[in-house]
Amino acid sequence: MRVLGVDPGLTRCGVGVVEGAPGRPLRMVGVGVVRTPADAETGQRLLLVEQGMERWLDEHRPDLVAVERVFAQHNVRTVMGTAQASAVAMLCATRRGIPVTLHTPSEVKAAVTGSGRADKAQVTAMVQRLLRLDAPPKPADAADALALAICHIWRGGATNRIEAAVRAARSTPSNGTLKGTSR
Amino acid sequence: MRVLGVDPGLTRCGVGVVEGAPGRPLRMVGVGVVRTPADAETGQRLLLVEQGMERWLDEHRPDLVAVERVFAQHNVRTVMGTAQASAVAMLCATRRGIPVTLHTPSEVKAAVTGSGRADKAQVTAMVQRLLRLDAPPKPADAADALALAICHIWRGGATNRIEAAVRAARSTPSNGTLKGTSR
């Protein structure tokens, strides 16, 4: 399974592609940051995020896109930009029929370090170890995008099977005939 | 000038097209709401907002898109959806090279009623009067989108001239040669 992790942001949008399956070694396929100038108009910045996402989707053809779930936090201005950049990432994936999943920051931290309250250094160290990299991933703030992709590969399997089962149960008519439940 | 006003929302995204110029009668060209099902996945809902926006832009070819500026308010869930829907609206317009402006709810209320604290009924009544409609615009929650478009037509003229002057001043090289300042 190849997953594109997206750590959304209007100024810096972290992207990381990881290949793997639960219980198998993980492999980093690519990592980077889509940047937009802070002094550009919001519409223009969203367009640059879209173009960046399209390039990453074109180049790496992921099976799934994992996006960090955005919460309203302390800094209202930042949260709006984050919500808007995440919307563009979800839109680009959905337009291509690529499934999107959302993971909270603490789910991601717990998945790669064992603790939902791990700090940035710990997440980066574990990402480097899990992907067997010689050095911490660069740019540094793209480590979270890789962590998101790893989180999905490890957690997503179970979650996806539960969701598929729920969908299957819902779409099963009362006469018991199954339809459209294969993935 | 033909303006498409967008009152962003993930469940209901109000859209209204108004034609006019400062000091001239206004004319309603179209009004409606782009809806997405609350139980669909966010990516799917954003895709439906995008498709709805594209239809409105195709049909009405506005000169400008006026979007309500989103603030973090009480209801965090709603604000995230609003920020994401507004991102899609801005993206669709910018992709076509259509300028986007943002207006706050109180700017819009002040523009159409004279008071930044007017209630919904007052805004709807003034929208009906200013557009010389026989009845309040339907659906009711699309009145705000029309108010946004009216607000831009009345306020935008002055704002645009100021912005153009600032851009002109910035892009003027020290030798005094003007370049690229015409709109």
Chain B contact present for A85, CB below 8 A: yes
pLDDT digits (tens, 9 = 90+) for A114-148: 999 999 999 999 999 999 999 999 888 799 999 99
β-pairing, A27-35 vs A12-19, is: antiparallel
Give the residue-averaged pLDDT of A25-52. 97
Per-residue confidence band for A71, with pLDDT thresholds at 50, 70 and 90: confident
Residue A91 inside a domain? The answer is yes
Q: Tell me what percent of chain B is helix, strand and coil, each rounded to the nearest 5.
A: 50, 15, 35
Residue A140 inside a domain? The answer is yes
pLDDT value of position A165: 64
Phi, psi of B98 (to 5 degrees): -90, 125
Chain A contact present for B46, CB below 8 A: yes
pLDDT value of position A77: 66
Residue B181 inside a domain? The answer is no
Average pLDDT, chain B: 87
CB contact under 8 A, A87 and B47: no
Nearest-CA distance from B135 to chain A in Å?
Answer: 35
Total domain count, chain A: 1
Residue A177 inside a domain? The answer is no
pLDDT value of position B74: 55
For B44, which of A41, A76, A94 is closest by C-beta distance? Answer: A94
CATH number of the domain to which A58 belongs:
3.30.420.10
pLDDT value of position A161: 58
For B87, which of A41, A79, A87 is closest by C-beta distance? Answer: A87
Q: Are B79 and A72 in contact (CB under 8 A)?
A: yes
Task: Tell me the count of A-B CB pairs closer than 8 A.
Answer: 76
Residue B122 inside a domain? The answer is yes
CB contact under 8 A, B94 and A43: yes
Residue A14 inside a domain? The answer is yes
How far is it, in rounded angstroms, from Cα B119 to Cα A45? 34
Chain A contact present for B72, CB below 8 A: yes
Lowest mean pLDDT among A12-16, A37-41, A156-160, B76-80: A156-160
Active site residue A141: yes
Residue B177 inside a domain? The answer is no
Chain B contact present for A54, CB below 8 A: no
For A80, which of B41, B47, B70 is closest by C-beta distance? Answer: B70
A141 is in an annotated binding site: yes
pLDDT digits (tens, 9 = 90+) for B91-106: 999 999 999 999 999 9
Helices (H), A13-100: 42-60, 76-95
Structural domain range at position B136: 2-171
User: Is the pLDDT confidence value at B29 over 90?
Assistant: yes
Per-residue confidence band for A158, with pLDDT thresholds at 50, 70 and 90: low
Residue A182 inside a domain? The answer is no
Residue A86: CB partners within 8 Å, gap ≥ 6? A6, A8, A67, A68, A70, B84
pLDDT digits (tens, 9 = 90+) for B50-95: 999 999 999 999 999 999 998 766 566 678 889 999 999 999 999 9
Residue A114 CA from chain centroid, whole number: 19
